[in-house]
Structure 1
Amino acid sequence: MQTIDFCDFQRIEIRVGTIIKAENFERAQKPAYKIWVDLGELGVKQSSAQITARYIPEDLIGKQVICVCNFKPKQIANFISEILVTGFDDGNGGIVLATPDHKVPNGSRLH
């Protein structure tokens, strides 16, 4: 594993937000959802998330997720993904979302 300096970590904007909208992303090459995340002071940002193996859109609404907010936007088909919603491989190819275990204010930064 490569090590980094603490100042490198500080450059990454990792924040929490609440999913306010989720829908199937029909034009994605791999199964995915379009999701919109309320990040408090940063506003609402959108992301393409390949989390279809473990979640359905209706169950995502209101879920807080941990996001990387300062990657360059990426175009995926006809959609611009502005943030990266983080998660972990479940060992079977599905992704389990990274979430706080208690509700925190949207936009809170990871320390």
Structure 2
Amino acid sequence: MQTVDITDFQKIDLRIGSIVKIEEFEKARNPSYKLWIDLGDLGIKKSSAQITALYLPEELIGKQVICVCNFKPRQIADFMSEVLVTGFDQEKGKVALATVDMTVPNGSKLH
């Protein structure tokens, strides 16, 4: 694994946001959801997330997730993904979302 210094880490804009809308992403190659995430001052941003194995849509509304906010937007089928929702492999094909253990203001930066 390559090591990085603090200036490399500081280049990544990691923020918390609340999922405010979700739809099944039928045109995606792998089972996915379309997410709309309230990132505070950054506004509502869209993301495609392959998290259908562990999460039902109704349990995601209001959930706070950690997002990479400064990647270039990525076209996925007919949907423009603007941020990357982060998570951890639970087992093959199952991603557990990276979140916080208490509510913090949307748009807060990870330090």
Which category of TM-score, normalised to the shorter sequence, fits these structures?
over 0.9
- Listed as ranges, the gaps of 5+ residues in structure 1 are none
Aligned twin of 1:91: 91
Aligned twin of 1:48: 48
Aligned twin of 1:67: 67
The Cα of 1:91 is off from its aligned counterpart by 1.8
The Cα of 1:92 is off from its aligned counterpart by 3.7
After superposition, the C-alpha distances for 1:63-111 in whole angstroms (9 at most, x for unaligned) are 0000000000000000000000000010242000000101000000000
Instruction: Provide the C-alpha distance between the structure 2 equivalents of 1:30 and 1:63, rounded to a whole number of angstroms.
Output: 22
Tell me whether 84-93 or 99-108 shows the greater mean CA deviation.
84-93
Q: Percent identity?
A: 67
Instruction: Provide the C-alpha distance between the structure 2 equivalents of 1:56 and 1:80, rounded to a whole number of angstroms.
Output: 22
- Runs of 4+ aligned residues of structure 1 deviating over 4 Å after TM superposition are none
Aligned twin of 1:81: 81
TM, length-normalised to structure 2? 0.98
Q: Aligned-pair RMSD on alpha carbons?
A: 0.6
Instruction: Provide the C-alpha distance between the structure 2 equivalents of 1:52 and 1:105, rounded to a whole number of angstroms.
Output: 26
The Cα of 1:58 is off from its aligned counterpart by 1.1
The Cα of 1:56 is off from its aligned counterpart by 1.1
Instruction: Provide the C-alpha distance between the structure 2 equivalents of 1:92 and 1:77, rounded to a whole number of angstroms.
Output: 23
- Listed as ranges, the gaps of 5+ residues in structure 2 are none
